[in-house]
Amino acid sequence: PELGRRFAERKRCADPECSLLMCRGKATQDFKGPDCRFVNFKKGEAVYVYYKLIGKSTELWAGSVGSDFGYFPKDLLEINHNYSNEELELPTDVSLYLF
């Protein structure tokens, strides 16, 4: 199916609202996203993951660094703590549309 302007059709979350932390990791290198939908971080910073896109854009996860929230490439994160082993597969919503 056509995804329109969404990054992905589905995502994996720890709870139905995608509000619980899935895991925490350490940034393996600096990252500056291409636009405001992405979270920027420096090597060594803690990154908290709330959901993982699946399907079309499996390389993107969504999380926070400090008070900033956004997408980032999952390959730039070294996981050092899992908060939940349960992953629910859910449809993405309008918050994933490009503006």
Q: 34-55 pLDDT, tens per residue?
A: 999 999 999 999 999 999 998 7
Looking at residue 55, what is its pLDDT?
A: 76
Cα(46)–Cα(13) distance, integer angstroms = 19
Q: Is the pLDDT of residue 94 over 50?
A: no
**What is the per-residue DSSP string for 3-61?**
-TTBS-SEEEESSTTS-S--EEEEESS-B--SSTTBPPB-TT-EEEEEEEEESTTTTEE
Residue 94 lies in a domain: no
Looking at residue 57, what is its pLDDT?
A: 62
Residue 62 lies in a domain: yes
Q: Is the pLDDT of residue 84 over 60?
A: yes
Residue 60 lies in a domain: yes
Looking at residue 7, what is its pLDDT?
A: 78
Mean pLDDT, rounded, of the chain: 87
Residue 90 lies in a domain: no
Looking at residue 5, what is its pLDDT?
A: 58
Residue 91 lies in a domain: no
Residue 93 lies in a domain: no
Looking at residue 46, what is its pLDDT?
A: 98
CATH number of domain containing 41: 2.30.30.40
Question: What is the extent of the structural domain holding 42?
Answer: 10-84
Residue 59 lies in a domain: yes
Give the chain's domain count: 1
